[in-house]
A and B are shown apart, each in its own frame.
Chain A
Amino acid sequence: MTSWENTIERLRRTPVWQSLFRRGPARTNRTRSVAVFGNIFLHLLPVKVRDASLRVRATYYLGSITFFLFVILTVTGVLLMLYYHPAVPEAYQDMKDLRFVVSSGVFLRNLHRLAAQAMVVFVFWHMFHVFYRGGYKPPRQFNWVVGVGLLLLTLFLSYTGYLLPWDQLAFWAITVGTNIISYVPILGQPMRFLLLGGHGIGENALLRFYVLHIVILPLFAIILIAVHFWRVQKDGGITLREEHGRKEKD
């Protein structure tokens, strides 16, 4: 045994390690399974996957890329929050500061913006791919509906983020968008009033969109993402091509 392995082995016997991991090294299939089951993050994922489902052509990793973009958006979004005030006229000035004054501000802002646009693209691409592979069919129909919920959340997150720079583009895009809501019969005007917190796009609307963008919508997104991952393994993994009578050629 090398000294490195010795150190690891001694570390494994410490009370801190044992209280964190609660079990010995995962050296057999059984202990590996138990390790996955007993971890709050890993238990969302399957204990075992088939080789075929890990091939690039099985999924093109579109869902994973979408999730990775969500992680990027969360990290960059939290960092942007440190310089941004959701108030008039500070919002616009803070956005300008992020572009021209704050170190790496323009990088973080552009990363947030581009990742948001990429996420919309990848959500659709992922959905098209799942659709063409028949992944919406039973027993996976519930997870398809969860996915549609995540699509809507992605679009709402994009839309609420669009107002935050508080420039002309943001102002008129939200003016037009919220006027579309007011075309809903009977409830249209009250819904627009509640969303904006007023009759027009003002400070209340900016604050409401900010709260939706940074708290409410991401919270629902995280919950649905967890359900979405967990359901993939509960419904028997991803759809493989053999399942619909076609043979994997590669």
Chain B
Amino acid sequence: MSEPKNPTVSSSLEKPEDKEGLSRRDFFNEIAAGALGVAGLGAFVVSVRYLSPNVLFEPPTNFRIGPPSDYQVNSVTYLANQEVYIVRTSDGLFAQSAICTHLGCITQWKPELEMIACPCHGSKFRKDGSVEHGPAPRPLQHFAVRMMPDGELMVDLLELVKPTQILKV
């Protein structure tokens, strides 16, 4: 056997599969692994998607709350079904969530203390939803209130607004 002319030829003679780059077996193994990977990823994505329901039987996110005259000036009204407070001040009217921003308990309006209090961990909020006493990290969420053409008010829970946004009525 003659001496190899250069080292690359020598190594390719020792390993025949290197000469063609990739053996048939390796090629099919890689194709199979790739196909399994793609199928596995697809199955994972589809499974996660399956876990997320498309139709929810939850209360509607926008609802009518009647005309402004239903709410007296300087009053806080709790709507139990929607878990919101309708607060009317001399400036106007706004809707804010009754769900505590700490861990999601339902707060209660205490008229004698002029305060919204959470029974779970003792958070206290002022009438406008700002935090007076922790552990709540954020003020109560305010929702958009609109006047409908027929004079009734409509609250949209999906439209979050700043606490300064008050509907003049």
The residues of A with any CB-CB pair to B shorter than 8 Å are 172, 175-176, 178-180, 193-194, 197-200, 202-204
Known: A194-B51, A197-B53, A204-B53. A179 touches B104 (CB 8 A): yes
Contact partners of B48 in chain A: CB under 8 A = 194
Known: A176-B120, A194-B52. A200 touches B105 (CB 8 A): no
Contact in complex: B56, A199 (CB < 8 Å): yes
With A and B bound together, what is the CA distance between A119 and B44 in angstroms? Answer: 34
State how many angstroms separate the Cβ of B157 from the closest Cβ of chain A: 10
Known: A172-B120, A176-B120, A194-B51. A202 touches B57 (CB 8 A): yes
Q: How large is the interface on B (under 10, 10 to 19, 20 to 34, 35 or more residues)?
A: 10 to 19
Chain B, Cβ-Cβ closest to A196: B53
CB-CB contacts below 8 Å: B39-97 with A: 48, 51-53, 56-58
State how many angstroms separate the Cβ of A191 from the closest Cβ of chain B: 11
With A and B bound together, what is the CA distance between A204 and B56 in angstroms? Answer: 9
Chain A, Cβ-Cβ closest to B102: A179
Answer whether residue B13 sits at the interface, using C-beta atoms and an 8 A cutoff: no
Answer whether residue B103 sits at the interface, using C-beta atoms and an 8 A cutoff: yes
Chain A, Cβ-Cβ closest to B104: A179
Residue pairs across A and B with Cβ atoms less than 8 A apart, 26 shown, are A172-B105, A172-B120, A175-B103, A175-B104, A175-B105, A176-B103, A176-B104, A176-B105, A176-B120, A178-B104, A179-B104, A180-B103, A193-B52, A194-B48, A194-B51, A197-B51, A197-B53, A198-B56, A199-B56, A199-B58, A200-B58, A202-B57, A202-B58, A203-B57, A204-B53, A204-B56
Contact partners of B102 in chain A: CB under 8 A = 179
Chain A, Cβ-Cβ closest to B59: A200
Nearest 5 pairs of A and B residues by beta carbon: A179-B104, A179-B103, A176-B103, A175-B104, A194-B51
Contact partners of A194 in chain B: CB under 8 A = 48, 51-52
Contact in complex: A198, B104 (CB < 8 Å): no
With A and B bound together, what is the CA distance between A175 and B58 in angstroms? Answer: 16
State how many angstroms separate the Cβ of A211 from the closest Cβ of chain B: 11
Contact partners of B57 in chain A: CB under 8 A = 202-203
